[in-house]
Every structure is written in C-alpha cells, then in structure tokens.
Amino acid sequence: MKDNVVLITGGTSGIGRACALEFGRAGARIVITGRDTVKLEAVSTELMAAGITHHAVQGDVGILTDAMRAVTESIAAFGRLDVLINNAGLSMRAKFIDADVKVIEQLMQTNFFGTVYTTKAALPHLLATKGTIVGISSIAGYRGLPGRTGYSASKFAMNGFLEALRTELLPEDVNVLIAAPGFTASNIRHTALLANGQTQNDTPRDEDKMMTSEQVAIYLRQAVEKRRRNIVLTGEGKLVVFLNKWLPGLMDKMVLNKFRKEEGDL
C-alpha cells in the first residue's frame, strides 16, 4: 500500500472510516467522500492526527457529478489512483408491501448507481495503474433477506455489475474484488430507511456479537494486497452463502425464522 492512492466512498463512518485508517496506516494516501460535512471533517481530523496523508470530498455518490468530482479531486490531489473502494451504502427495514417505492429507488441510486458512477469515472485512472476496484457488497447480495428487498436488490445488482466488469478487465490486469463482510457492527443499521423513508436510528440486532468495522478493514486490506476476487467474512456469512447454494428451500425457512425472531414484525 506504500504511496498507493485509495479512494473510499462513504468514508465518514463504519467500514469506510475503518478502511481509511487501516489503508492509511499501511502507507496509502487516502481520499474519503461523504455527504455530511461535519462527519467528514471529524474523520479528516482523525486521519490528520494519525499522520495519514489524505483529502476529503463532500458529495453524494448517487449524484453523477459528485461521483465524477470525487475522482477528479483525487487525481488533482495525488496525480494517480490505485484503489477504488465502493463503500457508500444505505440499508432498509420494511416489508415490501409497506415500503414506499421511493425507498427502493433511493437504495438503488446510492448502492448500485453510486458504484457505477464512481467506477466509470475512476476506470481510466485504474487502467493506467493496473489497480483494484472493490465493491463492499453483503450477504444480502448472495441471499435475499426479508425486510431488505431494496437492499438485497441493490447488492445483487452490484455483484453482477462487478463480476461482468472483472471479466471485461481480465486482459487489462485490473483486479475487481467483491467483498461481503457479513453482519458487521457499523452505522448502516442505524441509518437504515423505514417504509416511509425515514431513518431507523436504531438497530434490532445485538452488535456486540458482530465483527467490528476495524476487523473488516484488515481483511479488506489483505485481500486488496493479494488481489483477491471474492471474500465472504464471518462464519455465519459463509454458512449462509454455502447453504443457500445447495439447500435454497431450507434457507428460505431458516432466514425467515431468524429475522422474525430478531425483528418480530416480519
């Protein structure tokens, strides 16, 4: 990672913030993006205190011009781009029958099109460095989760987009890594959208038992350094992906029962 330039979308909390610190401590120069100016300044101060060379860009990846500007500012600040981590994302917590379709649209705009926009802008620079594109996906990108129809759809779409792109880029030696962290203690459940589009501001799960964002960031750095294609983290996550491939009917019932137990209203 020494002197590599790493652009991390959604770098103001959770896995994004942890990656900024982890990759920065490994010697990379960091660019973070975020919509919230206050949170962006707070993480920037944290990176500065850690002696990490960085640049912060305020913007929304779901807006094409913002995504393009993040890449433009990265090149202006450091002259190159080696790694793009598409991390910015939203979740939801509502049954589809109750959810406003605008919630689904918002999730697709941020999670899927945010990845498409930023990757499109970054690709010429990553071709020049034979770099790496990372998509922070989810177990929900391998196994549809109840109450998460829009989230699952956006992550399935991300996985398909990145897998196709990886195949296209094989002759160019640009690596594409799809990373599914599993259930992780991060801010995403607190900011999940309810049926009416309002923020949940809470989590129905016991996050003390989950993998931390900092642990995820270590695995991600190692996977980028080794130019891995796919990683699925946590034992539970690996088991879900395996069983869903071979016993999909059983998994339908197991997943529904698990989410009913934890969240009650599904």
Instruction: Supply the residues annotated as catalytic.
Output: 151
Q: Which stretch of DSSP H or E encloses residue 136?
A: strand 132-136
Rounded Cα gap, residues 207 and 191, in angstroms: 14
Q: Hey, is 137 helix, strand or coil?
A: coil
Cross-sheet strand order for the sheet of 54-58:
54-58, 29-34, 5-8, 83-86, 132-136, 175-180, 230-232
- Kindly report the three-state secondary structure assignment for every residue of 75-125: HHHHCCCCEEEECCCCCECCCCCCCCHHHHHHHHHHHHHHHHHHHHHHHHH
φ, ψ for residue 59 (rounded to 5)? 170, 170
Amino acid at the residue 132:
T
Query: What does the block give as tokens for 182?
Result: 């599993």
